[in-house]
Structure 1
Amino acid sequence: MAGSSRWKDWLHGARKHAAWLLAAVLVLAVAALAAPRMLRGPKVAVLQVVQRDFVQTVVASGRVETPHRADVGVQVTGTVVAVPVAQGQTVPAGALLIELESTEARAAVSQAELAVKQAAARVRQVREVDAPNAEQAVRQAQANHEVAERTLKRNRELIAREFIGQAALDDSERAASVAQSILRTAQQQLASARPGGSNAVSADAALAQARAAAEAARARLRYTRVLAPAAGTLIARNVERGDVVQPGKPLMVLSPSGAAQLVVQIDEKNLKLLAVGQDALASADAYADQRFAAKLAYINPGIDAQRGSVEVKLDVPQPPDYLRQDMTVSVDIEVARRPAAVLVPTEAVRGIDSPAPWLLKVEDGHARRQPVKLGLRSRGWCEVLSGASAGDAVLPATGPAALQVAEGARVRAIVPQR
């Protein structure tokens, strides 16, 4: 029995030592597996510095606006008898938009045209009747004057010989004076009837005045028909048949077709990057997959203090057919371009807005601080002017990787598959 007890004690002790030995082996195995990782550091996904052509853009949103809108109204007071167009309709230049009642205007035109005919008849009368009659009267007066002068001369000779009395001489002198007066009057009438004379000028002036009055009457008649000043789309209509309308009140708003502008608000911090003439690509929110060209045409000299933005306008040389007034658009303005630029993702730059930005670059298995000089920035990338080269691996400045890796720590870089 004693031998059996000793055997059991020995067996128990052996089992206990085996358990301890197994635990030690497991600990050594785990340490052997973990040691390389502890020596080489954790695996961390890194970002890469690349080299390619780079375009810096300023992104903004705004709306479509024509360079000018035409407010359509009437020029005379009247009653609307027809409005043959609807809001949203596209109309050609010269299309009828509003028609007013025109009976009185038409009657005024007829009356004015009759006055023109009367004035023209008076001009013809002066030229074709008065002038020839005046010429005939001058010839007759000239003949009578010559007879009276000869009679006066003869009577003066006779009275010298005492063949006639003083009374006969006085009669011949009066007759000669009257004949001369009649001749002067006839000559004045002829001069008045000829071109440039007072009667001719008066008749011509009356004709011109009548014609002007007729043109004014026709203009008032034309004012009863309001026509589209240019081809475009009616974006507002505030008039109906039967309305009594007056001058000075816009009744329709016409957005001319063809020319179009994009009006966008740019953050004032980007103002130094903008210049008139810069190219841009734009898209309407309703047609986001279709982009069209635009060009920066105007930069407002003032700043919107409440929004901290500046208004800019871009011309659209060839607007797409779907572009409509007041559509919402997104615009990418190209402000700079760099061929073969060295670029780093913006998320890897630490102190990006400080005077001394830097990267945490993976070099020889360690995370090392690397100061950099930055250039252009756009769409999640920064141009590196110095401090990094294409192919460098850098750690993100945010996220789990940024928290678990300190400057100088060992790290194993994992480049994500693209």
Structure 2
Amino acid sequence: MPFHLKLPSLFASRPRLTLAAFVIIALIALVGIPRLLGEKLVVLTATQGELTQSVVASGKVRSPQRVELTSQITGRVTQIPVREGHKVDAGQLLIQLDPAELSAGVAQSSAALAQSETRLAQMKQLALPLALQSQRQAEANRVQARQHFERSRELVARGFYSKTQLDDAQRNLDFTESQWQAAQLQARSNQAGGSDFRLAQVAVVQSRAGLELAQTRLAYATIAAPVSGTVLTRSVEPGDTAQPGKVLMTISPAGDTELIAQIDEKNLRLLSLGQKALASADAYPGDRFPAEINFISPAVDPLRGSVEIRLRVPEPPDFLRQEMTISIDIETARRADAVVVAGEAIRDAGSAKPWVFVVRDGRAQRQDVLLGVRSDGKVEILKGIDAGEQLIPASALSVREGNRVRAVAG
């Protein structure tokens, strides 16, 4: 049987072998080369420069205190020379009530005082001298009556006078004695310390107190600014009737303007008195002005988990208004020459031992770090990383320590 070599079938199988070899080589290149050279990753580079840490909060404009003006009496409003927003000086007229009835009360009390003072002066100038004169006259009459009684008794004893004449002399003596005693009492009463004199003095004191009361009530008709400041609210108009206790006007005293804000208690450790801040009103976001922390509440609000702080504004801009919403940026730390990395490079940032994956010699190396201040997604590295080193983001979960890495700048 003749031998036949089937060369065409052998040559027909070569294309399939070539294709299979190509696929195998491609798979080796796809899997082996990355393993050999490392995974390609976008890395974060540590830089060196200034880093400022700040706490951002929202607050309100508030003066240190407010003065609410009310009326002490009921009265009709006749004049209000100021409106909201007006600057006022201490003692300036704000509200005038009708003073007619109160002025009449002052006049009546003045007349009563004049009358009581005249009565007291009359006692000193007239009543007392008359009483003393009456006392001296009663004394003289008493002495004369006693002498007459003694002579009558002697004459009756000799038989020249009858018993009736002696009785008349006795009655006259008793009468002059009583007059003398009454004159003495009247004189003592009109002298300083006597009852009539004291009553006259008390009348003067009462009349003077009544006048002071009437003058005080008249003064209540004029409501003046107790301090210099700005009129915030006015809730009364001329012709209205003011009632005691009803707030008629509110004044913001002149003085340091304050910003009040609530800070999350987790930031309390970053705050201290005297720290500087920059603030801006939401209505004027481009106009920032300086402020300074001058009060940190010793208590934490348990419902909101916040701490109240107040900031003094040494030079408040003209556009600031009470209760304006303010954005506050408080500078809590500043580093002039810090090693800075993006916060996304830090792993276990909230733990006691934060760490990073740093690319060294083409491999991922775990490195513990000591963190410093933080601001706007950036973190200061105090220890563990130098400026210029490349870090693998924490989002690269597939990386393990020792893995080869091909770093690509982000």
TM-score with structure 2 setting the length = 0.78
Q: Which of 137, 140, 155 lines up with 1:140 in the alignment?
A: 137
Residue of structure 2 in register with 1:301 after alignment: 299
Gap regions ≥5 residues in structure 1: 1-30
Residue of structure 2 in register with 1:254 after alignment: 251
More strand by share: 2
Q: Which amino acid aligns with 2:188?
A: A
**Do the aligned partners of 1:367 and 1:411 also contact (CA within 8 Å) in 2?**
no
Matches within 5 A, 1:207-356: 207-271=204-268, 273-274=270-271, 277-285=273-281, 286=284, 289-299=287-297, 301-303=299-301, 305=303, 308-316=304-312, 318-322=314-318, 323-333=320-330, 344-356=341-353
Q: Which of 206, 216, 227 lines up with 2:203 in the alignment?
A: 206
- Fraction of identical pairs, as percent: 39
What secondary structure, in the 3-state scheme, does the structure 1 residue paired with 2:112 have? helix
- Bigger mean CA deviation after superposition, 289-298 or 71-80: 289-298
Residue of structure 1 in register with 2:187 after alignment: 190
Q: Which amino acid aligns with 1:226?
A: I
Which string of whole-angstrom CA distances, capped at 9 and with x for unpartnered residues, describes residues 258-278 of structure 1?
143322111233345556x45
Distance 2:274 2:53 in 1: 12
**Do the aligned partners of 1:278 and 1:334 also contact (CA within 8 Å) in 2?**
no
**Do the aligned partners of 1:49 and 1:389 also contact (CA within 8 Å) in 2?**
no
**Do the aligned partners of 1:71 and 1:251 also contact (CA within 8 Å) in 2?**
yes
Distance 1:411 1:157 in 2: 157
Which string of whole-angstrom CA distances, capped at 9 and with x for unpartnered residues, describes residues 372-399 of structure 1?
344554454445565x255362426367
Distance 1:338 1:165 in 2: 132
Distance 2:146 2:271 in 1: 98
**Do the aligned partners of 1:116 and 1:214 also contact (CA within 8 Å) in 2?**
yes
**Do the aligned partners of 2:61 and 2:324 also contact (CA within 8 Å) in 1?**
yes
Distance 2:248 2:175 in 1: 73
**Post-superposition offset of 1:75:** 2.0
Residue 410 of structure 2 corresponds to residue 410 of structure 1: no
Distance 1:241 1:86 in 2: 12
What secondary structure, in the 3-state scheme, does the structure 2 residue paired with 1:72 have? strand
Distance 1:190 1:288 in 2: 89
Distance 2:54 2:119 in 1: 76
Q: Taking structure 1 as reference, are residues 331 and 192 closer, same or farther at Cα in structure 2, changes over 3 Å only?
A: farther
Residue 63 of structure 2 corresponds to residue 66 of structure 1: yes
Distance 1:294 1:262 in 2: 9
Residue of structure 2 in register with 1:90 after alignment: 87
**Do the aligned partners of 1:87 and 1:234 also contact (CA within 8 Å) in 2?**
yes
Which string of whole-angstrom CA distances, capped at 9 and with x for unpartnered residues, describes residues 132-170 of structure 1?
211211222222222223333333444444443333333
Q: Taking structure 1 as reference, are residues 119 and 335 closer, same or farther at Cα in structure 2, changes over 3 Å only?
A: farther
Distance 2:173 2:52 in 1: 107
Gap regions ≥5 residues in structure 2: 1-28
State the aligned residue count: 378
Distance 1:292 1:169 in 2: 111
Q: Which amino acid aligns with 2:151?
A: R
**Do the aligned partners of 1:348 and 1:394 also contact (CA within 8 Å) in 2?**
no
Q: Which amino acid aligns with 2:61?
A: V
Q: Taking structure 1 as reference, are residues 255 and 67 closer, same or farther at Cα in structure 2, changes over 3 Å only?
A: same
Q: Taking structure 1 as reference, are residues 304 and 354 closer, same or farther at Cα in structure 2, changes over 3 Å only?
A: same
Which string of whole-angstrom CA distances, capped at 9 and with x for unpartnered residues, describes residues 320-359 of structure 1?
2534321222334466788987665433322212343212
Residue of structure 2 in register with 1:27 after alignment: none
Q: Taking structure 1 as reference, are residues 173 and 393 closer, same or farther at Cα in structure 2, changes over 3 Å only?
A: farther
Q: Which amino acid aligns with 2:356?
A: L
Q: Which amino acid aligns with 2:289?
A: R
**Do the aligned partners of 1:393 and 1:413 also contact (CA within 8 Å) in 2?**
no
Which string of whole-angstrom CA distances, capped at 9 and with x for unpartnered residues, describes residues 188-221 of structure 1?
2222222222222212222222222222222222
Q: Which amino acid aligns with 1:330?
A: S
